[in-house]
């Protein structure tokens, strides 16, 4: 049944991707407002197809520039966050070279950065600031890499300069994510790495295994909006967001996160 499920998901993924990618390419090329909205619809369809149940506490501020600072666990995070609001991501430069993935990333207007070179980080911060000035919501995985899902890695502060470089009023919100159940069974310390994609894991094998495993429950907590002015500099802002995300992830993993609500995306597969 697991193999049949995975094949079913991949079939529908391929179909909607083939149908919608040319449309999104036109929207991006012509810089139309729909370029922000179509990925939101696309990922909500994917979430339904995959049986992804998203439980969200809090909301991303609407109609204003937002730098959404999050922890990072899996490639599945892209689908989860994209279901919450129209947004784009900051990704490491290598993603722009991955076959298949690079096309989807570019169609979602991803900002690529080489964190190993300081000049490149500043260039990326300026690009993020420009997008924020345009009113975009940008997701920053502040750890700079993904974890095993049991912990939050130290945040890197360099790209927080985007909040400082942006000309208008930019809000910063935290987004803590935790995968809590697989096929209806709670995930624990030993089983969370089944969902996590980190280290030198091969992506194709991980995607196949996770799709075979069954539907996922994921909890997200969105923090209250703050501004750089409240903290003085990017390092203080980075420290604040890291502390907030650590606390929220800890609560989400303790199985007492918040009052149970209906999932944002219901399981259909």
Residues sharing a CB contact under 8 Å with residue 171, sequence separation 6 or more, in sequence order: 61, 64, 65, 66, 67, 225, 226, 227
Q: Is residue 246 part of a domain?
A: yes
pLDDT at 261 (0 to 100):
53
Q: Is residue 261 part of a domain?
A: no
Q: Is residue 148 part of a domain?
A: yes
pLDDT at 267 (0 to 100):
42
Q: Is residue 268 part of a domain?
A: no
Q: What's the pLDDT tens digit per position in 199-254?
A: 888 888 999 999 999 999 999 999 999 988 888 888 999 999 999 999 999 999 98
Q: How many domains does the chain have?
A: 1
**Is residue 63 predicted with pLDDT exceeding 50?**
yes
Q: Is residue 171 part of a domain?
A: yes
Structural domain boundaries, residue 92: 2-253
* Dihedral in degrees, nearest 10, Cα atoms 60, 64, 67, 73: 30
Percent of the chain with pLDDT over 90: 67
pLDDT at 268 (0 to 100):
39
Q: Is residue 262 part of a domain?
A: no
CA atoms of 25 and 163, how far apart (whole Å): 28
Q: What's the pLDDT tens digit per position in 155-214?
A: 998 888 888 787 678 899 999 999 999 998 999 988 888 899 988 888 889 999 999 999
**What's the whole-number mean pLDDT along residues 98-113?**
90
Q: What's the pLDDT tens digit per position in 245-257?
A: 999 999 999 865 4
Q: Output the CA–CA distances (angstroms, integers) from residue 208 to 105, 110, 195, 212, 234, in the order listed.
A: 20, 24, 11, 6, 39
Write the CATH number for 17.
3.40.1130
Q: Is residue 89 part of a domain?
A: yes
């Amino acid at each position: 049944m697991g193999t049949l499920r995975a094949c079913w998901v991949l079939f529908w993924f391929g179909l909607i991707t083939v149908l919608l990618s040319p449309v999104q390419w036109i929207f991006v090329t012509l810089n139309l407002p729909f370029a922000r909205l179509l990925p939101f619809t696309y990922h909500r369809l994917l979430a339904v197809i995959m049986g992804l149940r998203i439980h969200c506490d809090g909301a991303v501020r609407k109609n204003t520039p937002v730098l959404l600072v999050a922890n990072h666990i899996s490639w599945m995070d892209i689908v989860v966050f994209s279901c919450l609001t129209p947004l784009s991501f900051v990704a490491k430069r290598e993603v722009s070279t991955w076959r298949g993935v690079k096309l989807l990333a570019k169609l979602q207007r991803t900002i690529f950065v080489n964190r190993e070179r300081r000049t490149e980080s500043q260039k990326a911060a300026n690009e993020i600031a420009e997008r924020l000035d345009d009113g975009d919501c940008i997701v920053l995985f502040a750890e700079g890499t993904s974890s095993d899902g049991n912990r939050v890695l130290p945040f890197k502060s360099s790209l927080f300069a985007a909040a400082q470089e942006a000309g208008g009023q930019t809000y910063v919100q935290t987004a803590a994510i935790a995968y809590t159940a697989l096929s209806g069974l709670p995930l624990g310390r030993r089983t969370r790495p089944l969902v996590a994609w980190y280290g030198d894991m091969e992506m194709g094998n991980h995607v196949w295994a996770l799709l075979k495993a069954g539907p996922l429950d994921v909890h997200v907590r969105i923090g209250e909006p703050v501004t750089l002015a409240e903290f003085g500099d990017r390092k203080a802002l980075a420290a604040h967001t890291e502390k907030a995300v650590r606390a929220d992830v800890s609560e989400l993993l303790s199985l007492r996160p918040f009052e149970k609500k209906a999932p944002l995306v219901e399981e259909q597969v």
